[in-house]
Structure 1
Amino acid sequence: MAALQKSLIAAAVAALAAFFGFAFLKINRLSLASREMPVKHLKCHYLPNIEYGAEDITILKDGLAFLSTGLHDYLDLPSFSNEPGKMYVLDLLQPKLIPVELQIKGDLDLSSFNPHGISVYTDEGDDTVYLFVVNHPQRKSQVEIFRLVGEDTLVHLKTVRHPMLHSVNDIVAVGKEHFYATNDHYFHNEALNLLAVILGLPWCNVVYYSPEEVREAAGGIQSGNGINISPDKRYIYVSDILDHEIDVFERLDGERLAYVKSVPVGTLCDNIEVDHMTGDVWLGCHPDATKLSNFDPKDPPGSEIIKIKNIVSDQPVVTLEYGDDGHELMGSTVAAPYEGKLLIGTIFQKALYCSTK
């Protein structure tokens, strides 16, 4: 009996060691650990007033850019300020590019405002601009809907909470109160989420929300991150960050999404922006996620900007547009293009204005 117990214990220890070895290798593979950082610089300068990240940026057709800043206490990622987050606006047609803080009015607890992914919807009837913001007060997930009034004021209209919107990362608005949202984790428990990653469980999804119904629009995603829409509104793009791919879905009647294809990008892409003139897809990416999670200022996380041309075609073209080892910019999350200009945001550092001409 004693010999049998020793054999069982030895087998259990060996199995546990094998699992931890597998888990270590799997996480390193998904994180692209020790990947050589591609370097390609543009003519850039830092945007003033942005000191603690601009996690998401989106730009209207008239050159008005919105920036969500100050994301903190989210998924144990680095953050260097516990102050409430802020929203900024930047007019790219002005000679001096200075982001201006948006004043927020209405029934919203600004002391716990923690903005993440954003999207803008313009009403074609009266040109009213609605800003949708993912908010994480006390690590919860909810969506705030605002109306832009004048040049620098947001009026809070509505807070959206729903059990299916449990771990929201990003959204794309398709109506005044209608949007698609990505969930980046399946479980509320961080240990279970890590286990899901190790086992490769594709249990994350895209949720469609309207005041009339809330339902899953697409599933089978390892970790849904950025989401956006094509200029003709026909396709939805989703970044499956852990699969190192951009998933393409066709938008069908009844706001159903039909999977079309996945485009490999070879890096961990965060938010998605779309050039309103060309339809090119721009991605803010993390070249090595281990450097991001194990933040070391002596060996900082780098930044990588990827562009995809003709994403829906049989031969999409994936190119590196900007790459840095972290000494100019750490932890890029978004790249928003506008007629030869490019805004690059980060999780916790600064934001860049670059020229692509």
Structure 2
Amino acid sequence: MAAMKKALLATVVAAFAIFIGHRFLKLKEVTLASREVPLKHLNCHYLDNIEYGAEDITVLKDGLAFLSTGLKYPGMPSFSDEPGKLYVMDLLHPTPTPVELQITGDLDLSSFNPHGISVYTDETDDSVYLFTVNHPQHKSQVEIFRFVEDDTLVHLKTIAHPLLHSVNDIVAVGAESFYATNDHFFTSDVLSYLTIMLGLAWCDVVYYSPEEVRVAADGFLSSNGINISPDKRYIYVSDIIDHEIDVFERQEGEQLVYLKSVAVGSLCDNIEVDHRSGDIWLGCHPNGMKLSKFDPEDPPGSEVIRIKNINSQQPVVSQVYADNGHVIMASSVAASYEKKLLIGTVFHKALLCYLK
């Protein structure tokens, strides 16, 4: 009997060791740990005033770009103790330069930690609302501002809800309504790491309005960037760990119906959509292991991917920019306007590039 127990225990231990080994191999696979990208540069220069990341960027039809900077995110480097800031820049200006936005209203700026952003324009009066994911004291909430004059934001409202527990990005669909992605199921770092190790697709997209709050889509390994098509018909979500962009059709009652997934071959972060062409622009991490382990001697690289005709039967996925981290580290967003391309990062600098 004792021999049988020992044999059974040895079998269980061996099976567990094989399972853990398999999951570590799977982790290396999903983080693209062995991937190196050849350099593919554009004519670019660093943006003034942006030293500690521009995690998200969004551009209006008139060329005004908003930038979210200074994010402090668990597991990511941070090189400044200052609170985060929001900037605006005019891409139609001969020398576009980010200008810090002055925030008025009832908001604790000392703990301001902005993440994903989205802009909603009310076509009835052309009012511009900036929605910002905020993580004060590592919490998740959404701030709504009204953009006034040239460099001022008036804080209107803070939104917090149990379903908005680990918000990464948002896309505004009304003056007080939006879709938001939760990039983790658990708030605990250890449990979140475990869900990734086990490949548990438990993350979701939440719809928020003053009238209702509900899960609109689920089944993501880690739902990250989110955006909307120019005709407002489709919602795009980046499942960053699955290396895919998921396409949903937005139907009556703000229901999301899954249509398809488009493979991108990289860990794509935020999503921006060209107002004219409908092209999808993605700031991506070519090697997630380098990002999580951060070694300045072997820095995390950057990659920009574009998807043309995403809603067609044959989307075209192409790499527009790639760097090994020695020019720009940890790209998280790419936003195009006319022949200009903005590339933002989680914690590094930002680039203004010129497309051929």
- Quick check: TM above 0.5? yes
Q: Which residue of 1 aligns with 2:319?
A: 320
- The one-letter code of the counterpart of 1:126 is D
Equivalent residue for 2:20? 20
Deviation at 1:8, TM superposition (A): 4.0
Partner residue in 2 for 1:62: 62
| Residue aligning to 1:274 | 273
Equivalent residues in 2 for 1:249-260, closer than 5 Å? 249-260=248-259
- Out of 165-174 and 198-207, give the one that drifted further: 198-207
> Alpha-carbon deviation of 1:119?
0.1
Checking the alignment, whether the CA contact within 8 Å between 1:78 and 1:292 is kept in structure 2 is no
Instruction: Give the equivalent residue in structure 2 for 1:71.
Output: 71
- State the SS of the aligned residue for 1:290: helix
Residues 155-174 of structure 1 mapped to structure 2, 5 A cutoff: 155-174=154-173
Give 1:38 deviation, angstroms.
3.1
- 1:1-357 matches, within 5 Å, as 1-72=1-72, 74-357=73-356
Of stretches 3-12 and 208-217 in structure 1, the one that deviates more from structure 2 is 3-12
* Secondary structure, counterpart of 1:278 in structure 2: coil
What is the CA deviation profile of residues 158-184 of structure 1, one whole-angstrom value per residue up to 9, with x for unaligned ones?
000000000000000000000000010
Root-mean-square deviation (CA, aligned residues, Å) is 1.0
Give the secondary structure class of the aligned counterpart of 1:343: strand
CA displacement at 1:90 relative to structure 2: 0.5
* Whole-angstrom distance in 2 between the partners of 1:170 and 1:342: 20
Residues 48-90 of structure 1 deviation map (CA, whole Å, 9 limit, x = unaligned): 1000000000000011000000001x23112212210000000
SS at match of 1:193: helix
Secondary structure class of the residue paired with 1:321? strand
Which ranges in structure 1 are unaligned for 5 or more consecutive residues? none
**Inter-partner Cα distance in structure 2 for 1:45 and 1:309:** 26
Q: CA deviation at 1:4?
A: 4.0
The Cα of 1:201 is off from its aligned counterpart by 1.5
Q: Find the aligned partners of 1:300 and 1:93 in 2 and give their Cα distance.
A: 33
**How many angstroms apart in 2 are the aligned matches of 1:242 and 1:223?**
6
Work out the CA distance in 2 between the residues paired with 1:146 and 1:266: 35
Cα offsets for 1:217-249 (capped at 9, x unmatched): 111111100000000000000000011000000
Q: How many residues align?
A: 356
How far apart are the structure 2 equivalents of 1:96 and 1:258? Answer: 43
Report the alpha carbon displacement of residue 3 of structure 1 after superposing the two structures with TM: 3.1
How far residue 105 of structure 1 moved from its aligned partner, in angstroms, is 0.6
- Please report how far the alpha carbon of residue 5 of structure 1 lies from its aligned counterpart in structure 2 after TM superposition: 4.4
Deviation by residue 1:172-214 (Cα, 9 ceiling, x = unmatched): 0000000000010111222222222122221111100000000
Q: Distance in 1 between matches of 2:173 and 2:81?
A: 32
Aligned equivalents of 1:54, 1:60: Cα separation in 2: 17
Q: Distance in 2 between matches of 1:340 and 1:351?
A: 17
Q: How high is the TM-score relative to the length of structure 2?
A: 0.98
CA offsets 1:252-290 (integer angstroms, 9 cap, x no match): 000000001100000000000000010000000000000
TM (norm. structure 1) is 0.98
CA distance in 1, matches of 2:82, 2:5: 55
Letter in structure 2 aligned against 1:304: E
Residues 16-70 of structure 1, C-alpha deviations (whole Å, 9 max, x = no match): 3223211210110000011121321000000010000000000000110000000
- How far is 1:13 from its partner? 2.8
How big is the shift at 1:9?
A: 3.8
**Whole-Å Cα distance in 1 between the matches of residues 158 and 287 of structure 2?**
35
Deviation at 1:2, TM superposition (A): 4.2
Q: Distance in 1 between matches of 2:332 and 2:268?
A: 7
Once residues 294 and 9 of structure 2 are traced to their aligned partners in structure 1, the CA distance between those partners, rounded to angstroms, is: 37
Identity of aligned residues (%): 72
SS of the residue corresponding to residue 254 of structure 1 reads coil
